[in-house]
């Protein structure tokens, strides 16, 4: 249900919503999966704060909003896009650090392998 201001929507009965609405549009009827999808597209759960404390919403009432989800502003919907982590966001220093870590791990494994082989040969000699 779209809220009065038209800037968010409510799911008043999550059980009924998951059972009746989700299967019509998704391959599942899992509310948690639906919320995860909303989060991937930048929707956030609305938390109301009044008089310094959290206001407990009506039972099973969950409200979601997105800056580009506004009644009568259909042209903004094209701005609602799935968030992706692009490779260009990863810094070269991070890649170098990761490569250094991998190199150190491989070296440590080689050392351990050598020690294991030495122990094996000593064990054979002792037998």
Whether 51 and 74 map to the same domain: the answer is yes
The answer to which of 2-11, 30-39, 64-73 has the lowest mean pLDDT is 2-11
Buried b (16+ CB within 10 A) or exposed e, 48-69: eeeeeeeeeeeeeebbbbbeeb
User: In terms of domains, do 42 and 63 share one?
Assistant: yes
Lowest model confidence (mean pLDDT) among 7-21, 68-82, 85-99: 85-99
117 and 74 together in one domain: no
Question: Cα(40)–Cα(32) distance, rounded to whole angstroms?
Answer: 12
Instruction: Check whether 78 has a pLDDT greater than 80.
Output: yes
The rounded radius of gyration (Å) of the Cα atoms in the chain is: 27
Same domain, 69 and 88: no
pTM: 0.57
The confidence score (pLDDT) of residue 51 equals 43
Are 79 and 91 part of one and the same domain?
A: no
Residue 68, domain CATH: 1.10.10.10
pLDDT band at 18 (very low <50, low <70, confident <90, very high): very high
Q: What pLDDT is stored for residue 43 in this prediction?
A: 94
Instruction: Tell me how far apart the alpha carbons of residues 49 and 57 are, in angstroms, rounded to a whole number.
Output: 10
* Per-residue model confidence (pLDDT) at position 4: 67
Residues 11 and 72 in one domain: yes
Are 63 and 9 spatial neighbours (Cβ–Cβ below 8 Å)? yes
Each residue's pLDDT tens digit, 37-75: 999 999 999 887 764 455 555 567 888 999 999 999 999
- For residues 89 and 79, state if they share a domain: no
Number of domains in the chain: 2
Range of the domain at 111: 84-126
Please indicate, yes or no, whether residues 66 and 115 belong to a single structural domain of this protein: no
Please check whether residues 28 and 15 belong to one and the same domain.
yes
Same-domain status, 8 and 58: yes
């Amino acid at each position: 249900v779209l809220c009065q201001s038209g800037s968010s929507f409510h799911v008043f009965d999550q059980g009924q919503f998951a059972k009746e609405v989700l299967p019509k549009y998704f391959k599942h009827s899992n509310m948690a999966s639906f919320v995860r999808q909303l989060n991937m597209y930048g929707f956030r759960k609305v938390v109301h704060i009044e008089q310094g404390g959290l206001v407990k919403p009506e039972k099973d009432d969950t409200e979601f909003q997105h800056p580009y989800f506004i009644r009568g502003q259909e042209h903004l919907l094209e701005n609602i896009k799935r968030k992706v982590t692009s490779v260009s966001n990863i810094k070269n220093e991070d890649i170098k650090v990761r490569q250094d870590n991998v190199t150190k791990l491989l070296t440590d494994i080689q050392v351990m392998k050598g020690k294991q082989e030495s122990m094996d040969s000593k064990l054979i000699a002792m037998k």
